[in-house]
Chains A and B, each alone.
Chain A
Amino acid sequence: MPENNDQDIRIGVFICHCGSNIAGYLDMEALSDYAQTLPNVTFVQRNLYSCSEGGINEIKKGIKEQNLNRVVVASCTPRTHEPLFRSSCEEAGLNPYLFEMVNIRDQCSWVHMREQEDGTAKAKDLIRMGIAKAALLEPQESIMSEVCARALVIGGGIAGMTASTALARRGYEVVLVEKEENLGGMLNHLNKLGPTMTDAGDLMEEKIQEIVQHAKITVFTQSRVTAVQGFIGKFEADIETQSGVKKIDIGVILMATGGRAFVPEGLYGYDGQRVITQLEMEQLLKNGLNSDIKNVVMIQCVGSRNQERPYCSRICCQIAVKNAILIKDQIPDATISILYRDMQMYGVENEEMFRDSKAKGVRYIHYDPARSPQTESDQVRVYHSLLGREMALPADLVVLSTPIVAPEDADVTSQLLRVPVDENGFFLEGHVKLKPLDFATDGVFLCGSARFPANIREVIAQGLGAASRASIPMSKGSVVVEPIISVLADEDACRGCGLCVALCPYGALEIRHTEKGRKVHVIDVACKGCGVCAATCYQHALTINSYTDQQLEAQIDAFLIED
């Protein structure tokens, strides 16, 4: 490999103007002159935009014509541009990991807009550091790993069922695990679904039929996933079923464990009889209402948007409005008052349903949480914050709108799959905007109320979305992993003590018995290259590709050179 010949390191430095983003504030000529003077640098060029087609061509040309074996680009952020420059190097025949990027824009030219001299000095430091590291870079090969074309779906609510059928229709095998006796989740307990007033039972039955009949879907009810090992493409799950524990190989995992309706024990005189929840209301409506009921009061935000549960569960307002309409349908002369803090009725159809309810005579009364309503034996007293006085509303039935909360065992599931939950116990996606249905852990996806309270329509959309995300690695059949990972650089030094194994956040390390005794083994595809292990090993046996001790020390030394 000529490019790794230490005797002849030829570094090309490309300094980008980024239009005027960099050139407007730093002394570019001083930078390129300075770069010329640094060790191993054989070629320096400035570009208006290194990432433009022209800029890229210059880099490729430089590599070929100047016979460069390391490339440093001093420009913007590696977060967006590193992959681009890497692939440019590769296209020009240079191993993409012999590339180093220096950011002289975000925390340099942008920050020091008014201090050209200092800013330029800082850019020099940064470039010098990058070059020092680049000299020690080594070529790396990408890592490929096969993906098993079977998905595990945890939770058989509408989210899990939707995702399962979507995956099965694409031809992937699906294992659906549900802890209860029946599929359907929350739908089992619902009456009609707003805003379309579809029958919940019908929707559920339709889905269940498709699932049961689909040859590619295996359903385990009254079952639980008790252990998950492995990594994207090669997970192994233990499923505790009615007929014993089954071990199943899978490639991807979808989490659809939903939520449960909060039970307002001790709030507003809740007794399940006269003071009930919306969930219990659904059942009453299903059975047909007792026609004695003339006065109904609903109270919103019960147990939510308070200190303990600061979030808004989003869908309880829709549910209340829906049920108010359905009560009116059964008992047209019933008086219904909804006591609310804010009405959360997003979406065109919901707005329409809201207007519809008002037209049917449902009353809306705003209350202030500081003076929350009082339920008494036959009435509800509330301080009407718009009228500025207290009112007594007769009530045969009080319905409390309670939030959806995370399942009790969310923390167990979270540990099982090594995925995070937020402070309310809902699962946390990889990135709010960039990865809304993926977890940070590769190969694990998320949909439905497990992520946050959502209505059926959103849940179905998420189920389809997660299925689509999950099928990407399965359809490719393999995953490529960046080789910037941990390596056992000094096998003899490793004592196989397992100190590092216990700390790896991804379970990417294991102890194996080798001819040389117990040694650590890095599971390439699982490792994310965080570097915890390398910073921990007391034998200095492990290191991280492209972030070795030597490379980092060279960078630090370059920074601390006294000039």
Chain B
Amino acid sequence: MDDKTVLIVGGGLDGVRTALEQVETGAQVTIVEKFPTLGAERIPRDRLIRPEQAFINPDLEKVRDHNNIRILTYSDIKKINRDNGKLRVRILKHSLRVDNSKCNDCKACIQVCPVNMFDDFDEGLGFRTAVDFCNLATGGYNIYKEDMPVCQETCPVNLDIRAYVGLIADGKHLESLAKIRERLPLPGSIGRICPHPCETACNRQYLDEPISICFLKRFVSDVELSQEIEPVYETPEHKYPEKIAIVGAGPAGLTCAHDLARLGYEHIKIFESLPVPGGYLWVGIPEYRLPKKLLQREVDLICNMGVEIQYNTRIGKDVAFENLTNDYDALFIGIGCHMGLKLRVPGEDDYEGIVDCVTFLREQALGNLPKAKGKLIVIGGGNAAIDSARVGWRMGFDKVYILYRRTKKEMPANSWEIDAAEHEGVILQYLAAPVEILGENGKVTGMKCIKMELGEPDDSGRRRPVPIEGSEYIIDAETIVPAISQGTDLRFLDEGHDFDLSRWNTFLIDEETGATNIPGVFAGGDVVTGPDIAIRAIAGGKRAAVGIHEYLRSK
């Protein structure tokens, strides 16, 4: 048993003793301990001032000095994988944040430290200051630093929310905006449309209501607008020569381009199939929620960094995908999910007047739809459904229905959006599903629906809707818009491509770098996650930018 390696999780007295036993058998031993010191042997608090009197377990010194024992204190186990009958363990070692080789143990830091906190070492019974002292034999001084506040942790791009909200409270609006822009190049747009998971996490909600983290972004960017300040996104002086292609000018692609430009890449080109930038921010989210002018301004700021966008260029049609892999040093795919899914009911493909929501919203946004007449049915319960209905209402349909299988409570759309739609006059029919599309002379005339009731919860935890037999009814309509999720459109890839894809036809990527299995090709946004929200697409773009930088610099 000469190549036996043993990992001991927990460096308490038992862990230490086991380590000594195991090492006797000839094993290589690693001890992982989450606290900065071994042996539960932190010097008793009240002896802190005179550590030399502290009781030190002799085992500790043996462990410390043993050649075949590696000690990882202040470390967390992150992941354990099985790999060919062995275990691979991912361990995160925290920094002590104190250079103990220079510390002369004067304790001045403990005297002045203003942060008093519960000490998790004794399960919160006692208190410590943020800087604290452990057994010098295996630990020493360390500073506990809170990682991130909940809001920042929840935000997919980890915006420094506490700082920018605080700066607003101090009246420093532009500084706040600058702080946001350190991590987010589209604050005005995101500040309008983000469903703000951060606010759902905000601790303030337990007192009254969450901080308006999202709208505060909009607020500061509006302050800048109202003061007519034209900001400049800086790029560094030193430049890198590599060429990078980005497919899709959605939030993922734009952010990836921005982050790369800020790192010093000069040759960044975005290929976009549409004549407009922003992806769904332009052709999905309606004007009344996000004015195009505003989006354009933020895109321009990114373009001014030297990023080029080539519009009306569909990869796979106007330019072959191989051209990109050949001509560019790195490639980012951020093409989103632009294929509306089908209802799969009879009559769907037989009549004119049935348009999926992706096409419906896109054509409307591009100004290609005439003024509307008649009745409109939108099917689905997400934000895309609400947007389609509200857009339809504005286009002039006489009556607009939304059909949803479950109840209002289960609707995934934001509650304020549902309320707004209802308020405007959209008719919401809950617990109803399409059965058949009806038509005459090749045109849609209406839809047969069925009433539903809620049964047992399904995998997603929501109660599964089941049809009530014999409850069919008909709604007259000239236009029907299914808004029941979208899928990726990967037709630009060759038949025999080598990309690893998921069963939803999305790219499988490395979680740290955004890299696909093909070297030099990265992906992010909805094309990885499936239909999601803009800020997560942005996070995907950011991650890939770092990944691309590391990839190019290590080449």
Contact = CB atoms under 8 A, between A and B. Distances in A.
Contacts of B112: 538
A495 B103 CA distance: 12
A497 interface: yes
A78 interface: no
Interface size class of chain B, counting residues whose CB lies under 8 Å from the partner chain: under 10
A517 interface: yes
Interface of B: 104, 106, 108, 112
The A contact surface, by secondary structure, is loop
A538 B114 CA distance: 14
B108 A497 contact: yes
A495 B112 CA distance: 12
Contacts of A538: 112
Contacts of A495: 106, 108
A194 to B, nearest CB: 36
A517 B104 contact: yes
A240 to B, nearest CB: 12
5 contacts: A495-B106, A495-B108, A497-B108, A517-B104, A538-B112
Interface of A: 495, 497, 517, 538
5 smallest beta-carbon distances between A and B, as pairs: A495-B108, A495-B106, A538-B112, A517-B104, A497-B108
Contacts of B106: 495
A7 B112 CA distance: 40
A497 to B, nearest CB: 7
A495 B108 CA distance: 8
A495 B104 CA distance: 11
A538 B104 CA distance: 19
Contacts of A497: 108
A423 to B, nearest CB: 17
A518 to B, nearest CB: 9
A495 B106 CA distance: 9
Nearest to A266: B228
A497 B109 CA distance: 10
Contacts of B104: 517
A538 B111 CA distance: 11
A538 B112 CA distance: 9
Contacts of A517: 104
Nearest to B111: A538
Nearest to B106: A495
A538 B106 CA distance: 15
Nearest to A539: B108
Nearest to A499: B112
A495 B110 CA distance: 13
A516 to B, nearest CB: 11
Contacts of B108: 495, 497
A59 B87 CA distance: 92
A402 to B, nearest CB: 19
A498 to B, nearest CB: 12
A345 B108 CA distance: 66
A538 B108 CA distance: 11
B532 to A, nearest CB: 43
A452 to B, nearest CB: 27
A56 B516 CA distance: 91
Nearest to A538: B112
A434 B302 CA distance: 51
A535 to B, nearest CB: 17
A497 B107 CA distance: 12
A517 B104 CA distance: 10
B411 to A, nearest CB: 49
B246 to A, nearest CB: 33
B503 to A, nearest CB: 57
Nearest to A517: B104
Nearest to B228: A266
A517 B112 CA distance: 20
A222 to B, nearest CB: 15
Nearest to B102: A518
A20 B106 CA distance: 61
Nearest to B108: A495
A538 B109 CA distance: 12
A171 B108 CA distance: 54
A517 B106 CA distance: 12
Nearest to B109: A497
A535 B104 CA distance: 26
A197 B106 CA distance: 73
Nearest to A495: B108
